[in-house]
Amino acid sequence: MDGPARRQKRPLSLLELVIGLSLTAILLSSLFTTFRNIAKESAQVQRIHGKSHEKAILQLRLQQIFNSLSKKSGILLVENSLFFFYENPYDLETAFCGLVKGDLQLVGSNLLLHFTGKDGARREQKLFENVSDIRWEFYDIKTKKWSDSLKKKRVPLQVKLHLTLTDKQEQLFIFQLPNGGVK
């Protein structure tokens, strides 16, 4: 022999090829399952985040309204709809600036805020979707109790809004009224 022994390359046997393909298939299927589970969990997190965001927007919007209730007029509850006047300092439409009449009510499965401006113009804003029922409670500072009815000429200290969603979940919102307890 003139040089070091040369190794000849031998081709892969059929058995080695089948084992290699099987291992690759197992790895790919486990990766696919992992990615599918990650995608499911990501979608669930997105749904939860969307609901939390929706709740936060409702809380902020109603707190803004309750903070700017007109001192001259109270709030009125008629058949689970809440009526009030509030000061709306900023709006793109001038008809809705200043003292605005508002009402909160359940229409279909949506909690809606209706505005009535100075010249009778009306507008509505959808605050929450998929609601099957709403219930209001009011804290009376004189009796120191929660009630589902309003005393005339008395603004409650706090307001509770109970939402029952179409999936039977309960959502509770509590609002402090700055002029609450005042006659």
The mean-pLDDT minimum among 86-90, 121-125, 129-133 falls in 86-90
Structurally, how many domains does the chain consist of?
1
Is residue 71 in a domain? yes
pLDDT at residue 69, rounded to an integer: 85
Is residue 40 in a domain? no
Is residue 88 in a domain? yes
Is residue 43 in a domain? no
Is residue 12 in a domain? no
Question: What is the spatial distance between Cα 45 and Cα 38, in angstroms, rounded to a whole number?
Answer: 10
Is residue 136 in a domain? yes
> Which pLDDT tens digit goes with each residue over 9-58?
788 788 888 999 999 999 999 999 999 999 999 888 887 777 788 889 88
Q: Which residues of 39-48 are buried (b: 16+ CB within 10 A; e: fewer)?
A: eeeeeeeeee
Instruction: State pTM to two decimals.
Output: 0.70
Is residue 160 in a domain? yes
Rounded average pLDDT over 141-168: 85
Question: What is the spatial distance between Cα 80 and Cα 16, in angstroms, rounded to a whole number?
Answer: 75
Is residue 151 in a domain? yes
Per the structure, the complete domain to which residue 129 belongs is given by: 51-176
